[in-house]
A and B are shown apart, each in its own frame.
With several copies, the nearest count.
Chain A
Amino acid sequence: MADLSVNICGIDFKNPIIPASGVFGYGREYEEFYPLSKLGGIATKGTTGKLRTGNPAPRIAETPSGMLNSVGLQNPGIDAFIEKELPNLLHKDTVILANIAGATAEECAEVAGKLNDTDVHMIELNISCPNVKQGGAAFGTSCQMAEQVTKAVRNATKKPLVVKLSPNVTSITDIAKAVESAGADAVSLINTLLGMRIDIKTRRPVLRNNVGGLSGGAIFPIAVRMVWQVSNAVKIPIIGMGGVSSGEDAIELMLAGASAVQVGMACFTDPYAPIRIINEMNDFLDSQNIDTVREIVGTVQPW
């Protein structure tokens, strides 16, 4: 049995595997399959200041080794989250990353602030959502906006702040450096890539929202590349994700520089994916006589 525990920003995780935000709700459904205490942590569905109904359906489309979603930020709002979901979750003996978002930096800061009085372990700030004040471009696509929203949230919370980066950019390292300098304690990446599918018979986009976020195995090589680039650009720890579906994939992202790994779409293919991945990581480390998973982080040897 390899030692799978990791520590990120002072928070202990019993293992590096975390179901990603948006795929796991608040854990209630997957708890019917296995105890949540087996997980390193849980990233909860993105929460905003007020209730949001999300985008109209259809919200799901299949793609080669991947999928698109246009759920949008459907959520009950931060107050309902704190009142109805968090107390239950905090008793599950696993690290809770509260994923938050907003249409303005102020909204993000307000949401983060409301979490100060809770025992949530970390805040994961999703900067892929459109900034209404700046004409709707995503916070995550410009260094200034990324910096601004990170600063605002940084000022609102003392909790470890993980900023979740968008891959839909020319240079993810620039954004990573901007949020690092603005006070992020860690970064997580990658969020989904923007994609589209069209029903060729009806000539309508499959998603009612026309476009949606691409996730799954298809984006894995992009995630590996971006985690590696970012790990060479910043000093803060990285939580990697994007298309991880096996223990080997998780190891690969950790070699590239991730200290922990989130699992998204794979939970749909196999609800037990996070548990299976934890076991497969252990088996791999044992087979290579590696004592602790921490020792492999960032140890890829570039040519």
Chain B
Amino acid sequence: MKYTQGLYPIIEKKAIALDTYSFTLYCPEVADIAQAGQFVHILPENYGLRRPISIAGIDPENGTLRIVFAIRGKGTKALANMNEGQRMDMIAPLGHGFTLKPDAEHVVLVGGGIGVPPMLPLAKYYGNKATAISGFRSFRQVILQEDFEQFGTQVITCTEDGSAGAVKGFVTAPLEQFLSEGIDAVYACGPLVMLKAVAELCIRNKTYCEISLEERMACGVGACLGCACQTKDEKGEIHFQHVCKNGPVFKAEEVLF
């Protein structure tokens, strides 16, 4: 794997929801090789540690990459304050992404909150063979639903309080419906509780499922062992793996919640 580190110009900045931003960066060498599920590691100015952010769009023709992130603390705040024309210090692309299934007829993309963005490159790949189930707390957090539609992907929006979307409640209800009808794969990213519920449903239904994990990172490339997570293999043996290098995408049955 070759890593690239560089300063990449911001060519578009958009506020897309409360404290949530979409940035498009010009970085042809990364756009050429990036895959759905990989992430970038961005250094906010005057900070010592980089911030991992999933890739939310890959456009090799235009040489651009898209990221979508929420302000969570000081680092994401500093990034959100950057403007078009400025350059982001980024190492990319990192991690290994989702397994794409060329023969799949119907896949479901489950995103929760700020876990929705990494589902977009999958929607681009699967188009109308995919259904995106996205869960949010309320209408204020809803993002990217029209972006899925643009790829022909069917959209099911859920809000916990019912303030937006067709479903009031969690993503698991519509997911169970699809699982019972039979689907080829489920891809998920979002809060741990959601991932756990999704993984359990898929395992019980014997449906192929991959989930993207988060962990605090230092190097982002697999050298510092900072982002450990425990996994189990088929024999039930426990392994220490690293979210940045072995993940962030893992098979549902591997993950020890």
Query: Which residues of A are interface residues toward B (Cβ below 8 A)?
Result: 22-25, 28-30, 32-33, 45, 53-54, 56-62, 65-67, 69, 71, 74, 206, 216-217, 265, 267-272
- Top 7 nearest A-B pairs (CB, nearest first) are A25-B223, A60-B216, A29-B221, A29-B223, A60-B226, A58-B216, A268-B218
Q: What are the residues of chain A within 8 A of B75 when measuring CB–CB?
A: 62
Query: Which residues of B are interface residues toward A (Cβ below 8 A)?
Result: 1-3, 5, 43, 47-50, 75, 91, 215-229, 240, 245
**Contact status B1-A32, CB under 8 Å:** yes
The interface residues of chain B, by DSSP majority, are classed as loop
What CA separation (Å) do A40 and B223 show in the bound complex? 19
What CA separation (Å) do A65 and B49 show in the bound complex? 9
* Interface residue from A58, A217, A268 paired with B219 (Cβ < 8 Å): A268
**Contact status B215-A57, CB under 8 Å:** yes
CB distance from B231 to the nearest CB of A (A): 12
Q: What are the residues of chain A within 8 A of B49 when measuring CB–CB?
A: 60, 62, 67, 268-269
**Contact status B3-A61, CB under 8 Å:** no
B219 and chain A: residue at smallest CB distance: A268
What CA separation (Å) do A56 and B228 show in the bound complex? 7
The answer to whether A265 and B48 touch (CB under 8 A), given A30-B223, A60-B216, A272-B5, is: yes
What CA separation (Å) do A54 and B241 show in the bound complex? 11
A66 and chain B: residue at smallest CB distance: B48
Q: What are the residues of chain A within 8 A of B91 when measuring CB–CB?
A: 271
What CA separation (Å) do A60 and B224 show in the bound complex? 10
Q: What are the residues of chain B within 8 A of A74 when measuring CB–CB?
A: 225, 228, 240
* Interface residue from B1, B43, B48, B221 paired with A67 (Cβ < 8 Å): B48
**Contact status B226-A62, CB under 8 Å:** no
**Contact status B48-A268, CB under 8 Å:** yes
Q: What are the residues of chain A within 8 A of B225 when measuring CB–CB?
A: 22, 25, 45, 54, 59, 71, 74
Q: What are the residues of chain A within 8 A of B228 when measuring CB–CB?
A: 54, 56-57, 59, 71, 74
Q: What are the residues of chain B within 8 A of A66 when measuring CB–CB?
A: 48
The answer to whether A65 and B216 touch (CB under 8 A), given A59-B227, A272-B5, is: no
Q: What are the residues of chain B within 8 A of A23 when measuring CB–CB?
A: 218-219, 223-224
15 sample A-B contacts, Cβ–Cβ < 8 Å, listed by A number:
A24-B223, A29-B245, A33-B5, A45-B225, A53-B240, A57-B228, A58-B215, A60-B227, A61-B216, A67-B48, A67-B49, A69-B226, A217-B48, A268-B218, A269-B43
Q: What are the residues of chain B within 8 A of A216 when measuring CB–CB?
A: 48
**Contact status A269-B222, CB under 8 Å:** no
Name 14 extra pairs, CB < 8 A, besides A23-B219, A59-B226, A271-B219.
Answer: A22-B225, A25-B223, A29-B3, A29-B222, A29-B245, A33-B5, A54-B225, A60-B217, A60-B227, A62-B48, A67-B218, A74-B225, A206-B216, A269-B50
**Contact status A57-B227, CB under 8 Å:** yes
Q: What are the residues of chain B within 8 A of A271 when measuring CB–CB?
A: 3, 5, 91, 219, 221
Q: What are the residues of chain B within 8 A of A268 when measuring CB–CB?
A: 48-50, 218-220, 224
Q: What are the residues of chain B within 8 A of A29 when measuring CB–CB?
A: 3, 219, 221-223, 245
